[in-house]
Amino acid sequence: MAESDYNQRVPEPFQDPITATTRFCAVYGQPIQHSASPAMQNAGLAALGLNWRYLAFEVPPDELRVALNGAQAMRFIGVNLTVPHKLLALKMVDALDASARTWGAVNTVRFEGRDRRGRWRPLREFAEAPRKVRSLGFNTDADAISQALREDLRLKLAGAKILLLGAGGAGRTAALKLASEKVKELFLVNRTLSKAEGVAKEIRRRYPAVKVTVGYPTGSVNLILNATSLGLKPADALPFDEKQFSISRTQAVYDMIYRPSRTRLLKLAKAAGRRTANGLGMLLYQGAKSLEIWTGKNAPLAVMRRALEKPVRKPE
């Protein structure tokens, strides 16, 4: 199934047309054209009965600031940020929610206006565009990681031993979040050793109770978590070295990649009888939380999941 299927196969979820009162959200990234977020978020917005739309824009990093200012000036409800914008945005928003401060990245921005009493309120609460507007940055990725591991793999994080592959943006957030969940031991493996060492150092400083090792475990683990991009392409190698670690030494495998829905890693794990899940849950939970931040309503999770699953699950 072609990657562009999110653009081709998703049925229009809205009954009402776009009018002069339609409100907008968007995702910015580069590249962006294969993003699943518009399909998921528009399904959610339609199910909530909102006359809002969620758009996707290809924004180069050197124009992120002007793109954020543009959305603010046009009184968008909010935006999501994806690769390569999550760190850059930290310095570009007017204020940071505790989630963005804790995890050091912004994937969700909510625009807020000043009400008559001088309080900042989400733009959805204003019938007429307020004069003064600010941007507030959140991070919904980190919570989505632990939620997906708990719900999709039935994994108990406290006390767990985890082999984490990848120490880029996603790997760092995962490592810190897992440490905050009181895992017992983390093994960090990354092609570029210095990045894994940097993450290990940060964990030792912030979460000293967690034992962190750079390199493969000698014994068994409860989970392998793939946060590298290896597996996105069919010809990719496995994200770990089978000479140094055997899949039979883990109980479960989570791959943050959701397309393809079954990577080489997940196939290997499944064949070895391990519990497996792909990154669809993470995508869903981070998006659901963003929707809740913007709308103030519970996200219609089942509807949003269905919008994602249609194009993601492909016949093998």
According to CB under 6 A, which one of 168, 184, 238, 264 is a site residue for ligand ATR? 168
According to CB under 6 A, which one of 30, 102, 180, 229 is a site residue for ligand ATR? 229
61: helix, strand or coil:
helix
Calculate ∠ Cα 221-223-229, nearest 5°: 125
According to CB under 6 A, which one of 44, 171, 217, 260 is a site residue for ligand ATR? 171
Distances (CA, A) of 148 to 20, 31, 220: 38, 25, 22
Contacts to ligand ATR from residues 195-214, by CB under 6 A: 195
Burial class (CB in 10 A: 0-12, 13-18, 19+), 302: exposed
According to CB under 6 A, which one of 70, 122, 169, 215 is a site residue for ligand ATR? 169
Contacts to ligand ATR from residues 232-271, by CB under 6 A: none
According to CB under 6 A, which one of 166, 231, 287, 311 is a site residue for ligand ATR? 166
Residue 201 annotated as catalytic: no
Does 83 help bind ligand ATR (rule: CB under 6 A)?
Answer: yes
What is the nearest approach in angstroms of ligand ATR to the Cβ of residue 107? 10
For helices 193-206 and 169-180, the axis angle rounded to 10 degrees is: 30
Residue whose entry in the numeric block shows the structure tokens 């990848």:
166
The contact pattern for ligand ATR, residues 113-152, with x = CB under 6 A and - = no contact, is: ----------------------------------------
What's the rounded Cα separation, in Å, for the pair 90 and 160? Answer: 31
Q: Could you count the other beta carbons within 10 Å of the beta carbon of residue 299?
A: 24
Q: Which residues are known catalytic residues?
A: 86
Chain positions contacting ligand ATR, by CB under 6 A: 83, 166-171, 190-192, 195, 227-230
